[in-house]
Amino acid sequence: MAAPRWSVLGFWIRRNSQGLGSLFVLVSKSFCSAAAASEPLNAQRLAEKLRAQKQEQVTKKEPVSTNPVQRRVQELVRYTRQLQRVHPNVLAKALTRGILHQDKNLVVINKPYGLPVHGGPGVQLCISDVLPILAKMLHGHKAEPLHLCHRLDKETTGVMVLAWDKDMAHQVQELFKTRQVVKKYWAITVSVPMPSAGVVDIPIMEKEAQGQQQHHKMTLSPSYRMEDGKMVKMRSSRKAQVAVTQYRVLSSTLSSALMELHPITGIKHQLRVHLSFGLDCPVLGDHKYSDWNKLAPQKLSVGTLKKLGLKQSKARYIPLHLHARQLILPALGSRKEELNLVCKLPHFFARSLRRLGLEMPNQDQSNNSETQ
């Protein structure tokens, strides 16, 4: 009977050959031990590589500049880009630290600056991506993902409502849709509206803006215009949507204002369009709606730039100063009373208030604002 054979590393080895058998044992042991050692070695190298990359990122941090303008730019970048390029777990953990309210139906978070609510082309991280992680951090690994109840623009900060189940999310969405939710925003504007309080009731529509870069923007679609000193009714566009914003000035200087905005309707970019094109008071840091024909950094006066500690060439770093300050939800489900949610200002917003000489409303005025 022929002795069995095995093929190892290109050699045919017979069991009866003692010399080659010893060689087979030696080679096979060495081969197996090397293969077994390669896995932890690769893992070790990977860990070392990750540590080196992390150390490189730390050492690459921009040093604090002696130039005051550059220091101001670094400050703005630090305040506004903290959570835009982090791991989803890091973002979820940050959101848990900013929870404004939590019960068996709802979770209310403080939305950071620069994070879109939904994904899309070029979006690396968004709020909806981390809802499953956030739910597990709050309710354990078996928790179902949280659900969005409404949306905020990428650059807008402040109160954002999430629900634990789809039915509750639909109920809250219906409250927003039927205008039963009171929404109040704070904005810093680069000029002061006249009069200091009022209502902007001008329809809004989306149009293509002609310029060096063709792009689409929301714009006013007024129902009337002045012609030879007379008010003339215009033909309304089918694409125009009713848009109503109540506003009032909380604090002002000669060139800037802190405003409270109460959108009665919820049209895309409504507040920014009404302020910029309706009241000629664009929001500080609104690089899209400060000029109709151009997509360019907002043009600011020399005095405003000086107060902000910036030059016009660095104005592109100024974030949008629009903050969802307050939401009042009516009684819902087992909750028999309304829910008043107030969110503190982000750091960059508060710093700009101080630099521009704008005063925060005192407690009494703020309370009156919240109950009106």
**Cis? peptide before 195, omega within 30° of 0:** yes
- The two structure tokens encoding residue 198: 């009022």
For 191, counting Cβ atoms within 10 Å of its Cβ (0-12 exposed, 13-18 middle, 19+ buried), the class is middle
Which residues, in sequence order, are CB contacts of 87 under 8 Å at separation 6+?
none
C-alpha 269/C-alpha 217 separation (Å) is 9
Q: Helix or strand or coil: residue 131?
A: helix
C-alpha 170/C-alpha 179 separation (Å) is 14
Comparing CA positions, the residue from 177, 182, 199, 175 lying closest to residue 369 is 182
Residue 324: what residue type? A
Which residues, in sequence order, are CB contacts of 63 under 8 Å at separation 6+?
none
C-alpha 267/C-alpha 337 separation (Å) is 28
**Rounded to 5 degrees, what are φ and ψ at 317?**
-85, -10
Length of the chain counted residue by residue: 372
The answer to whether 166 and 147 are in contact (CB under 8 A) is yes
**DSSP string of 237-300?**
PTT-B--EEEEEEEEE-SS-EEEEEEESS--TTHHHHIIIIISS-PBTT-TTTS-SS--SPPP-
Helices and strands, number each (H, E), in the chain: 9, 16
Annotated catalytic residue within 153, 165, 201, 364:
153
Handedness of CA 63, 124, 294, 187 (dihedral sign): negative
What is the crossing angle of helices 347-356 and 68-80, to 10°?
140
Q: Is 153 a catalytic residue?
A: yes
For the annotated catalytic residues, the residue numbers are 153
